[in-house]
Every structure is written in C-alpha cells, then in structure tokens.
Amino acid sequence: MSTLFDPITVGAITAANRMFMAPLTRCRSTADHVPTPIMGEYYAQRAGAGLIISEATGISQQGLGTPFAPGIWNDAQTEAWKPVVEKAHQAGGKIICQLWHMGRIVHPDFLGGDKPISSSATTAPGSVRTYQGKRDYVEARPLAIDEIPALLDDYQHAAENAKKAGFDGVQLHSANGYLIDQFIRSGTNFRTDEYGGSIENRIRLLGEVTERLVEVWGKDRVSVRLSPNGDSQGADDATPIETFTAAAKLLDSIGIAFLELREPPAHGTYGNTDVPPVSPNIRPVFKGPLVLNSDYFYDNATEALAENRADAISFGRTFMTNPDLPERFRTGAELNSIDFTPSWYSQGAEGYVDYPTMDAEKSVA
C-alpha cells in the first residue's frame, strides 16, 4: 500500500514523495508577463513537494488574458524563468512548466481589440479583470482549420523555451474551461469539421498538441491536466464519462509521464459540483501514474492512495499557505489558515512568501 511519503517515478522524473504541488495562478510577473525574482523564492520555499507543477504559463500573447501572469513565448520571459527554476532546483525541488492557452477566456483588451479564439463562436459567462478594469467576456471566433498549424507551433515553441529555462518537463493545461477543454467539451464545441462533432474529433487537438510537446521533451517528461466532471467557466459536456475516458485512452496510447485530474467533490470547500467523479472510469484505461487534485487534505489523500484510486495527490491552496506541507503532514502539525485573501493575487510578498514554516513558528515562539 502506497503512502504520501513514498517516492514515485513519473516518466523520467523520480519524486521523493507523492505530494505534488498543483498549478496555482499567483500573478507575480510583470505587466509584460515576465517572471520576477520573488517567484524563485516562492517555489524554493515549496521544494519539499515531490514535484512542483508551475502556475499556468502563457504560450502566446493570444493565449494569455490574466494580468501579471507569466508567459514563456519570448526571450525575455524565458531568461527570467531561468533563475526562478534554478532557485527551486537549488532547494532540492523538481519543477515542470504548465503550458496554457486560455482561448475564449482572453478579453480583447489583451489582444489589441481582436476577438479571442475558441473551438466555436461562444461566450464565457461573467466578467474578467484586465489592466483596464473589469470587463464582460465577449464572443470568441472559431479557430480556422488553417490556423491550427500555427497554434501547434506556438505550443512547441513554448515547450522549447521551457527546456531552455531549465524546467524538468512540461504539463499541457487541458482543463478548467480553457482552449483545449473548449475543444473537448460538447457544450462549447459546435464544429462540423474534423475537430468537432464526435468525441474522437473533439479530442483531436488534445492529441496533436500533446504529440508536439513529446517531440520536444520525449513522452516521459510530458504530462496533461484534465478536469472531467462538471461545468468549468461555462464549459460542460453532455457525456463526461465517455468523453474523458476516450481522452485518457488517447493519452495512454501516447505514453505520457502522468495524468492529473482536477475533480472538485460535491459541496467541496473550493468547488461545488453534483457530478460524480469520472476518475474511477479513467483509472482502468490510463495505465500510467494518475494524480488526483482538489479538496484533498491528509486523511482523504491517504485514503485515495490506500484504495488505489490514485498514485499521487496534487495539493493547491494547502501548498500556497503551507510551504512545508509535507513536513506538517508527516508530523501531524496544524496547518496555516487557508482562508481566501485578496493578497493571494496581488503583486507583493504578502500572501505569497510570508507564510511561516514550522521552524519559523518555533523560532518566533
């Protein structure tokens, strides 16, 4: 029976434990999406994770619509990532870069007034923060067939830059209602070409992008994140078990290093869905390591491993507020408060690198 403290090999990476750090948007880059030195301190503090999955990182200006989020499409961004990654490595950590295209979630304010792209002409619900203030989402334009090669090139270029920056691998962000998810789900994909209609067609882009990342990194350093159950930023699917089981089979055939699933439980702390988890259906068809995420703490994470529902667990907000989370779990120590604060997404040290470790708390005492 595996425990959270056992090592695990995911592809070419050997993780010292099964407590991964989930990807977490923190908004500490510059307005031009260039990483800043404080990000190195942040990741180094959390190097005790078996594996750090970086915050979502834009593959292109077209694909990034979050103020102060990092990118990795140009030389300045790539060079600025190098000392951040090195800090994590110096602290003993391993870190992979999550590659992100937001699709219809990007507001025209980030695009010089141009429309965002998506699988189809749809509009995300609600509004978004831009550098010009709060804005309602706008209708996206469908990505044309002849534009797909350039999109694939953008993903490949970002993967190459991640290698230059010194990351240990990459993860494709295919979850949470962003571009790849918009293609996968029947509720946002109304195309009638080879990228729409059937499940096989809707997961085609997922497979093509993953293959491009494998060309750069090899299959043993590429992972994928999916969010198979429930509505996510207005993206939903009529047959999630069939759709995401097919997606998992496709990824299994490619042979990726691991698959991460974000599945908020019904009436969970940070999410609320009454849709049953799809992971029990994915577990038999994806033969590689499976990582589960969302609303996990020590007890239910330990149970998930003991019951063989997962091979590792990725922790999000618990790692945000507890930089030494594995040691706290090991000793049964109390966790720092995980209550939301606006400083989580500000541009300073507060709510970012000022959460105390147990050693710091003892020193103060």
Which residues have a catalytic role annotated? 178
Residue with tokens 């090991």: 330
Residue with tokens 């991640």: 162
Nearest to 102, CA basis, from 67, 150, 144, 53: 67
Q: How far apart are alpha carbons 58 and 61 in whole angstroms?
A: 7
Q: How far apart are alpha carbons 213 and 338 in whole angstroms?
A: 34
Strand, coil or helix: 21: strand
Burial class of residue 89 in the structure, from the number of CB atoms within 10 Å of its CB (0-12 exposed, 13-18 middle, 19+ buried): middle
DSSP state of 139: P
**Strand locations in 197-333 (E):** 222-226, 258-262, 290-293, 312-315
DSSP state of 287: -
Residue with tokens 């939903």: 236
**Residue 341 CB partners (closer than 8 Å, separation 6+):** 351
